[in-house]
A and B are shown apart, each in its own frame.
Chain A
C-alpha cells in the first residue's frame, strides 16, 4: 500500500475507500452517555470485502451507520474516497446500504425499486431502464421486474435490495446483517452470491455480521469489534490463527485457554512444562482441532483425563481435564465406525500440532 505523509495531516493512504479517524459516537449526554464507538480508526481498502464482526452491541452497526451518514459522529472524521464527508447527509454520500430489514419501497415495483436511486440522481430515463435491466440480470430477477415487492420471498427481496443498492454504482456498498433473516440454506447460497457480486462489480463491500463463519468465508479482511472498539483487523487466516487477545480468540471459533507464563522460546505451564509457542502474554491458546490425543505414556505429551466424549458426526469432541484442573476440548475426526475409542475416566497424553499453541494477552 502506498502511503503519503502530508504536512497538513496524518498519514493518508491513496487507496482507502473508507477511512474512519478517531471516531467516537456517544448516545445520550453527560454521565449517562453510552459510547457505542470509542475512538475507532480504520481503513477500508478500495475493492475489498471488509467485514465488521462482533457480538450485538459492539458498535459494528453504529460504525456502518456513521459511514452511511444516518448518524453523525460525536468526534472524529469519516472519509470516503479521500473526501471528508463527516458533516454530509446520506444523500450526498456515494455509498449505498443494504438494510437488515431490506426496507424495500412497498408502493413501487421491483424495477422501480432498483431504479429509485438513479431517478433521484436525475439520470435520463433510458439510462435508468438500461441499468435496471442490467442489475436485475446481475441478481437473476429479470422475470420479476413488474412485481410488487410484497409478493416476493425473503431471498428475492434480498436480491432486490442488493440490486437497488448496487444500481447507482456506489463507491462502497454497506451491508447491515443482510443475511440474518434468511434460513440456513438460503444464507449459504446468498453468501456465495454476495461474493460473486462483489467480484463482478469490483465495488468495495463493508459487511456487518455477528456470524464468525460468515465473516471467515466471505471476507478479504475482518475487523473484530467489541465494546465500541476494534480489537483486531486482519485477513481471516490471521484472525483465526493469531488472535491478539482473549476476546478475539474466544469470539472466532472455539479455543482452549491455558494459563501460562512466557519464557524464552515458549510458554511455561503451571506444572512447569514448557511448550513451544509464539507470541507473548499470559494466556496460551490452542484450537480444539490442533490437539492430538496420544497414549498416556507418549513422549513429551501432557497428561490429561477424558471427562466426556460427544459425537458430532464428522468429528468427535473430547472434553479433557489437565492435572491442575484446567478444562480443554479436543476435536478429533470421527473414525469410520463412529467410535473414537475414548471413554470418560481414561488417562491419555495430549500432544500439540507444531506451531498450534500461541501466547496471547488477556
Chain B
C-alpha cells in the first residue's frame, strides 16, 4: 500500500560503499573463476576456428570448416556440401533421450520428494542420505552395475524368465532404452533434491484450503501444488536435462558404439576422428544451444508468476 521508503543521502552513500566493498572482497574469486572457467572455453573457441591437423591437433590456419562440419559434410568425390544425416540423428537422439530422462526423473522424483518432505524431520535426513548414496560411487562403476542388471544374462532377464513373464531374454543393452535407464538412474537424485527443497517449503495447509474449495485431488495437484513448487521443478529439470544432453559415460557403456550422443560424438572428434576444430565447434554450439534453451524455458516457466486479475 505505502510507497517504498525513500533512502536518505547517508543511507545511499552507505549502501554504495557496501556494494564497492562487496566487489573488492569477491575480486580474487572472480579473477580465479574467470581464468579457470573462461580460459579453457576461450581456447576451445579459438580451436574451433582452426584447421584440423593431420594426426589430430590443429594447424594454425583460420578455417570455418569446424563450424560448417556440425551440420554438413563434404562429399569425398565432388567436394559439395550436403546435410550430414548422421550428425542430425545424433543430435535428435541426444535431445530426445535428455527430454525423456527429464520426464522420467520427474515422474519418479516428484512422489519420492513428496514422500521425503512429508516424513518426520529425523526420518527425512535418513531418506535424503539414502538418495545421495549413489553419488558416493564412481559413475563408471554405477553404470557397469546397470549393465549387470539389464544385459541378456543379467538379473532382470533371469528373474523375468524364471517367473515366466517372458520367453526369451529382453535385448536392452546397446539400445536407447538402456541409455535411458542408465541416465534416469544416474540423474534421479539431481531431480529429487531441488524438488524436495521446494516441497519442504510448501505449506501443507494449502492442501486443505484447496479441498475445501471444491478441488479434487488432481485439481489440487494441478492448481495448488505444482504452481507453488514450480521453482523446484525448473531447477530439477535443468539439473537433469543439461548434463543428460552432454552425457558421455552412460551412452558409451550402455548404448554401445552405435547409439552415440553428442558427448560421445565430440569425444570421437578428439580421438579417432582427428578433427579437433569440429569437436571444439560442437562443444561451443552445444553450450550456446543449451544456454538459449534454458533461457527460454526459465522465461516460460516463470512468466505466469506475475499476477493478473
Contacts and interface: CB of A to CB of B under 8 A. Distances in A.
A91 interface: yes
Contacts of B209: 97, 99, 103-105
Interface in A76-130: 89-91, 95-97, 99, 101, 103-112, 116-117, 119-121
In this complex, which of B215, B228, B309 has the most chain A Cβ atoms within 10 angstroms of its Cβ? B309
A110 B309 contact: yes
Given A107-B228, A111-B309, A165-B213, 14 more contacts: A103-B208, A104-B209, A105-B228, A106-B203, A108-B307, A109-B307, A116-B215, A116-B223, A120-B223, A145-B309, A146-B307, A146-B309, A165-B212, A168-B214
Contacts of B309: 109-112, 145-146
Contacts of B205: 99, 101, 103
A168 B215 CA distance: 12
Interface residues of A, number: 34
B38 interface: no
A68 B228 CA distance: 24
A60 B219 CA distance: 29
A347 interface: no
A233 B305 CA distance: 48
A116 B211 contact: no
Interface of A: 68-70, 89-91, 95-97, 99, 101, 103-112, 116-117, 119-121, 145-148, 153, 164-165, 168
B228 A120 contact: no
B206 A147 contact: no
B224 A105 contact: yes
A120 B307 contact: no
B54 interface: no
B305 to A, nearest CB: 7
B-side binding surface: helix, strand, loop or mixed?
Answer: helix
B206 A103 contact: yes
B216 interface: yes
A105 B225 CA distance: 10
Contact of B307 (A69, A97, A148): A148
A247 B219 CA distance: 45
B214 A91 contact: yes
**Size range of the interface on B?**
20 to 34
A120 B212 CA distance: 10
Contacts of B303: none
B213 A168 contact: yes
A328 B213 CA distance: 50
Contact of B213 (A69, A110, A116, A145): A116
Nearest to A164: B213
A108 B209 CA distance: 13
A172 to B, nearest CB: 12
Which of A101, A110, A116, A146 lies at the interface centre, i.e. has the most chain B CB atoms within 10 A of its CB?
A116
16 contacts: A68-B208, A68-B212, A90-B208, A91-B215, A91-B216, A97-B208, A97-B212, A99-B209, A103-B206, A105-B206, A105-B228, A109-B308, A120-B216, A146-B307, A146-B309, A148-B307
Contact of A117 (B203, B213, B305, B307): B213
A109 to B, nearest CB: 4
Nearest to A70: B208
Contacts of A106: 203, 228
Contacts of A164: 213
Contacts of A110: 309
B227 A107 contact: yes
A348 B309 CA distance: 69
B307 A112 contact: yes
Contacts of B305: 107
Contacts of A91: 211-216
A109 B309 CA distance: 6
